Structure 1
Amino acid sequence: MIVRRNLSWRGILHYAWKSLLYYLVLAVVVYLVHDHFEVAYLSIPFNTVTALSTALAIFLGFKSNSAYERWWEGRKIWGLLVNYSRAWTRQVITMVIPSEEAEAAAAKELQRRMVYRHIAFVHALRVFLRLKHAYNITAQEEIYEETNIYTDIQAFLQKDEFEAFYHKNNPPNFLLELQGEDLRQAFKRGWVSDYRFVKLEDTLVEFNNIQGMSERIKNTPFPRQYSFFSRVFVFIHASLLPFAFVSEMGLATIPVSVMISFVFLALDLVGERIEDPFENKLEDVPLTALSLTIETNVKEQWGDQDFPVKQTTQEGIVL
């Protein structure tokens, strides 16, 4: 996620330079043909472009708002994961109570296993959502790819659990199954009452819901009609601008048409870059930072001071 107020023009040009080059070349050609070769019929009525500009602005505004809604929903979902992770840790610590003093050590080990397995679940969900698509467009995105590997989770699981986890089609869901099995064992041994069992199970169900909502966004792409036609309309609009300006503005047609075309291009790119919030892009929901926040909170609740290294922004980017 980009947190700095001023964007890097180098990054902007990385995505826009081809289009800007087209706008510039087209404007120069139209100006030269119209003024130097006196081809008057190249000019078109300005009202034609005005009507198209209005319609395109409305269309791009709708696309950007819809794309932002998907991004914001992804952020809210992971906000819920932060909250329920804290609640789950508190519940495991306070609600799993051994029936006999002799079982205290075994109950403590079960609590530790369930707490650290949840940290594994959080990191596994992050990797699961990001793993299918990897982008190597910039140095920052290469860092994204390097930090999204399942081997980072090995320290939070027992060896046999990790071996089984690593070969599952849906690893995060497998960890929730293990949590449910441990919860059942605690209930059988009398460490969890009926009421406490239901409360803990409800929290596990919330983790299922969070994963399902995240997968819904991940696996349901933004309607491709919007993405395709917005590019087409921006291209048509930019191609017509020089023809509408050249008869009245002369040489000024070149910078003016390029700048106006860039405005519409930027609106289109904003929507395109945030429409899928779990795709390893710089504008995505910062899953790595949120995962580390959860890990830190859970460890602190458990009494483990071995916190992960706090993530710092890299060139104004939070991963």
Structure 2
Amino acid sequence: MIVRRNLSFRQMLFYAWKSMLYFFLLSVIVYFLHHELAIQKLSVPFEAVATLSTALAIFLGFKNNSAYDRWWEARKIWGLLVNYSRAWGREVLTLAGDESGDATPEKNEWRRRLIYRHIAFVHALRVFLRQRRPYNKYQDEYVETSNTYDDIRPFLTRDEADEVLSKENPPNYLLMIQGRELLAAFQRGWISDYRFVKLSETLTEFNNHQGMSERIKNTPLPRPYSYYSRVFVFLHGTLVPFAFVEVLGIFNIPLALLINFIFLSLDQIGERTEDPFENRPGDTPLTSISVTIEGNLKEMLDEADLPEMPPMVKGTVL
């Protein structure tokens, strides 16, 4: 997630330079044909382009609002995951014990295993949502700390990690193992029926968080919004030089570039915001949130070896 106020001009040009080159060459050609070769029938009525500009601005505004809603929903889902993860740690440490309160080494190890397995679930869910797009397009500016399933191995036994990673949906399978462990504890009398139900409800919330995240991941913004916005932006950008060439002369070139850059930027903002789990600089900072959850749960276990937050890279929280 980009948190700095000033964006990199290089990053903006990364997406826009080909389109801007097209609009620049078009503006130069239109100027040359109209003023140097005296072809007078090249101009387009300004009112027509102004009407198109207004319609396009409304369309892009609607698209960007919809894209931002998707981004903000993703952030709220992972914010809830932070809250319920803390609740899970508290419930495991306070509810997951027999009625006598006897804290045997076996039970303490069981509680620690439940919490560590949940840390593995959070990291696995992060990788599961991001794995379809490798983080390589921004290697010149951004560096991802880690985005592999190897991140879950420190929190599981070797056999359990191998079993989980052999599944098509590792985070979902981790929740299944958690449910089995709760059932086994209930059958052994470590937790009462009420506490078993309460802990199971928290696991269900984790299923909900995963499902809501997958819904955003697997359901893109309707493709006509993206396709027609690009078509309209290029149609509008192609007409802009013809609307000002007669009045402004050579100054039509920088003005056309400025207008087209604004509309291109609006279109790209929506394109880069609609998919918040694509592991790009502007996406939801899943790595930082996962490390936050890991640190909070380890602190509940009174462990001193807490993870370090990933460093901010050029104004971007990973």
Q: What range describes the TM-score normalised by the shorter chain of this pair? A: over 0.9
Cα 1:171–1:54 change in 2 (3 A) is same
1:134 aligned partner: 134
Does the 8 Å contact 2:141/2:314 carry over to 1?
no
Q: Distance in 2 between matches of 1:140 and 1:195?
A: 54
- Match of 2:265, as an amino acid? A
- What residue identity is the alignment partner of 1:179? Q
1:298 corresponds to: 297
Q: How far apart are residue 15 of structure 1 and its match?
A: 0.9
Q: What number of residue pairs does the alignment pair up? A: 318
Matched, 1:47 2:47: yes
Change in 2 beyond 3 A, CA 1:189/1:50:
same
Aligned-residue offset at 1:35: 0.3
**1:205-244 aligned within 5 A:** 205-244=204-243
Distance in 2 (CA, whole Å) between partners of 1:317 and 1:174 is: 32
Asked if structure 2 preserves the Cα contact closer than 8 Å seen for 1:74 and 1:217, the reply is yes
Matched-pair contact (CA < 8 Å) for 1:86–1:298: yes
Alpha-carbon distance in structure 2 between the residues aligned to 1:195 and 1:64: 46
Residues 82-107 of structure 1 deviation map (CA, whole Å, 9 limit, x = unaligned) = 00000000000001113568771211
After TM superposition, the score normalised by the length of structure 2 is 0.97
Q: Tell me, yes or no, if the aligned pair for 1:98 and 1:107 is still in contact at 8 Å.
A: no
2:277 alignment partner, SS class: coil
DSSP-derived class of the 2:309 partner: coil
Residue 91 (structure 2) aligns with: 91
1:123 alignment partner AA: H
Which position in structure 2 is the counterpart of 1:111? 111
Q: Separation in 1 of the partners of 2:200 and 2:101?
A: 25
- The aligned amino acid for 1:124 is A
Aligned twin of 1:269: 268
Structure 1 CA distance for aligned equivalents of residues 45 and 86 of structure 2: 63
CA distance in 1, matches of 2:133, 2:15: 18
CA contact (8 A) 2:77 2:209 kept: yes
Give the aligned partner of residue 168 of structure 1.
167
State the shift of 1:142 in Å.
6.6
Instruction: State the alpha-carbon separation in 2 of the partners of residues 40 and 142 from structure 1.
Output: 49
Q: Which runs of 4+ in 1 moved over 2 A?
A: 98-103, 140-144
Q: Deviations over 1:118-151 (max 9, x none)?
A: 000000000000001124211268733x611001
Residue 182 in structure 1 maps to residue 218 in structure 2 = no
Counterpart for residue 120 of structure 2: 120
- In 2, the alpha carbon distance for the partners of 1:205 and 1:79 equals 16
Do 1:67 and 1:222's aligned partners in 2 also have CA atoms closer than 8 Å?
Answer: yes
Q: Where in structure 2 are the equivalents of 1:21-40 lying within 5 Å?
A: 21-40=21-40
CA distance in 1, matches of 2:200, 2:243: 65
Check conservation: 2:142, 2:313, Cα contact below 8 A: no
Correspondence for 1:10: 10
Q: For 2:143, what is the secondary structure of its paired residue?
A: helix
| 1:312–1:318 contact (8 Å) kept in structure 2 | yes
Q: 1:8 to 1:101 in 2, by over 3 A?
A: closer
User: SS at the partner of 1:143?
Assistant: coil
> How far, CA to CA, are the matches of 2:187 and 2:6 in structure 1?
58
Alignment check: 8 A CA contact 2:143 2:313 kept: no
Q: Which residue of 2 aligns with 1:159?
A: 158
Report the secondary structure of 1:83's partner residue.
helix
SS of corresponding position for 2:104: helix
Counterpart AA for 2:49: V
Amino acid aligned to 1:267: L
- Matched-pair identity in %: 58
Counterpart of 1:139 in 2: which secondary structure?
coil
Counterpart AA for 1:42? L
Provide structure 1 residue ranges, at least 5 long, that are not aligned to the other structure: none
Matches of 2:99 and 2:88, distance apart in 1:
21
Residues 31-58 of structure 1: CA deviation (Å, up to 9, x unaligned):
0100010000001110110110010000
